[in-house]
Amino acid sequence: MMVYSSPRSLLLAGAFIGAFTCTAAAQQPANSPAAAAPAAAAPLPPGSPMIGRPDNQAAAKLAPVAGPPIPAAPDKLPLAKLKVPAGFNIEVYAAGMANARSLAVGDKGTVFVGSRLVDKVYAISDKDGKRTVKVLASGLYRPNGVGFKNGTLYIAELSKISKIDKVEDNLENPPKPVVIYDNLPKDEAHGWKFIAIGPDNKLYVPVGQPGNNVLHDDAHGQIRRMNLDGTGAEVVALGVRNSVGFDWNPETKQLYFTDNGRDWLSEDVPQDELNRVTKVAEDFGAPYCYQGNIPDTEFGWGHSCSEFTPPVGLMGPHTASLGMRFYTGNMFPKSYKDAIIVARHGSWNRSNKAGGDVVVVKLNKDGTVKSIEPLITGFLQDNKYVGRPVDVLQMKDGSLLVSDDWNGAVYRVTYGKPKLASK
């Protein structure tokens, strides 16, 4: 599901939507033989989320939801509206980070925060009992993905991956990122990247479809992995529409990833997917098949969904399931151990929005989904967003961080007496 678009695409899409809905014919003189035909609408730009929208009144009301232009002040955050299960606590961990997106944590506890709509990577650090936020790097292009390994921060921009060595030793005067890999497409649609380092000590990065539903070339619709210096890139998963989150099962070491289903097929299908990679170059179906059992109406002809690997679980229609992590800590109840915690950013192309929450996905012994339970609700109020969760991150003490790009904030979830949540 294409939950986002670049600012340029959003502006253009808004203009074109207006052209579709607000066209008015000028009055003709009484003796005019015929009224002039309305002007044809200009074509949508490549990758626009409006491509494929059905021509009906209900669909005409739907479009990507633009968030506030600046981060919310700490006292304006919707903390009182966010609900967690009994025994859990939620607090503001840090604020003031425009478009706070993907999360990573360093060996010394520094939390790194990527962004998509601004040019910055942030660093949250604790020193002398005080938590501070600073801009670690700027002048980047869609630096959505951040990953950390052995003292090095890896940053995924739209079309390249860079690194900062010994980053936690140089937070006050960090060097500029050094590019290690630039063989990535430059498409804006689904061009922002998640990034993480696997148990095989390799760097993983997704490349989405360059549009809502596209019969693309062999450089798109996949997850790649490479050595930490950017060499040896290979494809590990195919048929991936738009993944913005993945992690590895702590027991089997298999890669699990969320994937957003296509738009405009209907309000209720397809659902977003939770997938599991069991072999290199496994194909998960897009754009030929979605959610494991729905042949695409445009590209599914001549294909069967049985040709592709089905998801291990469905995450709801258009919920924008993004960041996910296996919970391996000891702070939460035992039932959460090795479960997957998923941030669902929330839908835009449903009349009644879905998602906009953080859920716990518990697995069966065979690795398939057993249940999906709420962990944080309240980001969606009266069918309007007051926040939008993007990524989750387990801290060393077992607490959980959750980023919110709508408000430019990060929250912290703990379990136990409230004093455990204080800092």
Q: What is the DSSP string of 64-99?
A: -----SSPPPGGGS-GGG-B--TTEEEEEEE---TT
Which phi and psi angles does 421 have, rounded to 5°?
-90, -10
In the prediction, which pLDDT does 8 show?
Answer: 37
Beta strands 289-290; 294-295: pairing state: antiparallel
Residue 152: name the closest of 119, 174, 120 by CA: 174
C-beta neighbour count of 337 within 10 angstroms: 14
Residue 344: name the closest of 380, 290, 293, 383 by CA: 380
In the prediction, which pLDDT does 42 show?
Answer: 82
**Alpha-carbon Rg of the chain, whole angstroms?**
22
The model's pLDDT over 240-269, given as tens digits with 9 standing for 90+, comes to 999 999 999 999 999 999 999 999 999 999
C-beta neighbour count of 322 within 10 angstroms: 30
Give the domain ranges of the chain. 63-92+342-423
CB-count exposure of residue 295 (10 Å: 0-12, 13-18, 19+): middle
pTM score: 0.90
CA-CA-CA-CA dihedral for 198, 281, 315, 404, to nearest 10: 40
Residue 263: name the closest of 64, 53, 55, 12 by CA: 53
In the prediction, which pLDDT does 244 show?
Answer: 98
Q: How far apart are CA 358 and CA 180, in angstroms?
A: 33
In the prediction, which pLDDT does 306 show?
Answer: 98
Location of structure tokens 């980023």:
403
CB-count exposure of residue 314 (10 Å: 0-12, 13-18, 19+): buried
The model's pLDDT over 125-146, given as tens digits with 9 standing for 90+, comes to 998 889 999 999 999 999 999 9
In tens digits, the chain (423 residues) has pLDDT values of: 333 333 333 333 344 334 334 333 334 444 444 555 556 678 899 899 999 999 999 999 999 999 999 999 999 999 999 999 999 999 999 999 999 999 999 999 999 999 999 999 999 999 888 999 999 999 999 999 999 999 999 999 999 999 999 999 999 999 999 999 999 999 999 999 999 999 999 999 999 999 999 999 999 999 999 999 999 999 999 999 999 999 999 999 999 999 999 999 999 999 999 999 999 999 999 999 999 999 999 999 999 999 999 999 999 999 999 999 999 999 999 999 999 999 999 999 999 999 999 999 999 999 999 999 999 999 999 999 999 999 999 999 999 999 999 999 999 999 998 754 444
Ramachandran sector of residue 397 (left: φ over 0; alpha: ψ -120 to 50; beta: rest): alpha
CA-CA-CA-CA dihedral for 72, 73, 78, 80, to nearest 10: 170
Query: Who contacts 74 (Cβ-Cβ below 8 Å, separation ≥6)?
Result: 92, 95, 96, 409
Query: Per the omega criterion (within 30 degrees of 0), is the bond before 175 cis?
Result: no
Query: Per the omega criterion (within 30 degrees of 0), is the bond before 49 cis?
Result: no
Kind plus residue range of the DSSP H or E element containing 55 = none
**Tokens representing residue 55 in the block:** 């021509």
Q: How far apart are CA 159 and CA 191, in angstroms?
A: 8
- Residues 78 and 379 sit within 8 Å (Cβ to Cβ): yes
